[in-house]
Amino acid sequence: MKILLGISWIFVYLVLASYLPTQAEKKNATSNSTNTETIRNERRTITYVTPRKVQDPRNKQRFFNPRATATRNDRDRDSNLNTVGIIAPNEYAYTISSHPTFTLYLPIKGRNINLLLEEKGTDSNQLIWEENIQVAKAGINTVTLPRDKKGLQVGKDYRFVVSEIVNPQDRSEDIVAQVWLSRLELSTATKAKLANINDAGERAIILAEQGIWYDSVALLINSTKDSDLFASLLNQVNFKNIERQSIIN
């Protein structure tokens, strides 16, 4: 009986051992995991490349500073962190979307904000979209051009204006930030590269390298695992002190 029990335990041990990883397998699994993590970390670098049109000295260029765009002297606003702004690298940037998403910094909860998008015309600008919103939560917010509005066309210039309405009876007191943007068509090579990539961070990296600001930021802002890339973009346009907050849908 003892001999049979001993044989039974040996049999059970051999069966279990066949399912357990060997030390070599454990080492390889750990090595593969480390290599994957290393590769992932190596890719976590994003660089926004300023488009040629903005680099051209004949074009007006100024790194975006929310306070610098204010049209009203406000003695209570001693910091950029207290001033409405559009998070963008320069006064001019690009998108590949017909209905782009804009990233805003709205620091004061409850304030009324006017949004306006115009298409640049020869004699006058054409209104594309205008809407009033109220800041639900202070911080970084996003707004997207509604689908029922005319989309941006490739090659045309557009002006996006964000106005904080301080005094509804006197709109000259508005605090205003504005940027110019244009829609680009990606190259065939870039389209092919993006077609094989689903990861938001990787797509954002490629777009940023092509000078596509708005779409790169839009991909990152809702991706918690890419917060390091998002923070890096903010640092590159002098918004390093701003923390990501709620999203206006």
Say what the pLDDT of residue 50 is: 85
Flag whether 44 is in a domain: no
Say what the pLDDT of residue 234 is: 87
Flag whether 93 is in a domain: yes
Print pLDDT tens along the chain (249 aa).
545 444 455 554 554 455 555 555 555 555 544 444 444 555 579 999 987 765 544 444 333 333 334 444 333 333 456 778 888 887 789 999 999 999 999 988 999 999 999 999 888 899 999 999 999 988 889 999 999 999 999 989 999 999 999 999 999 999 999 999 999 999 999 999 999 999 999 999 999 999 999 999 999 998 888 989 998 998 888 776 765 444 444
Flag whether 84 is in a domain: yes
Flag whether 7 is in a domain: no
**145 secondary structure, DSSP code:** -
* 94 strand-pairing partners: 182
Segments forming the whole domain that contains residue 198: 52-236
Radius of gyration of the chain (CA): 26
Flag whether 248 is in a domain: no
Say what the pLDDT of residue 139 is: 87
Flag whether 167 is in a domain: yes
pTM: 0.73
Say what the pLDDT of residue 19 is: 52
What is the tally of structural domains in the chain? 1
Nearest to 242 by CA among 118, 122, 105, 123: 105
Nearest to 110 by CA among 165, 40, 182: 165
Say what the pLDDT of residue 213 is: 95
CATH number at residue 132: 2.60.40.10
Tokens representing 147 are 């689908």
CA angle (108, 109, 110) in 5-degree steps: 115
Say what the pLDDT of residue 81 is: 60
Is residue 120 within 8 A of residue 156, CB to CB? The reply is yes
Q: State the SS3 of 148-213.
A: CCCCCCECCEEEEEEEEECCCCCHHHCEEEEEEEEECCCCHHHHHHHHCCCCHHHHHHHHHHCCCH
Flag whether 161 is in a domain: yes
Say what the pLDDT of residue 196 is: 92
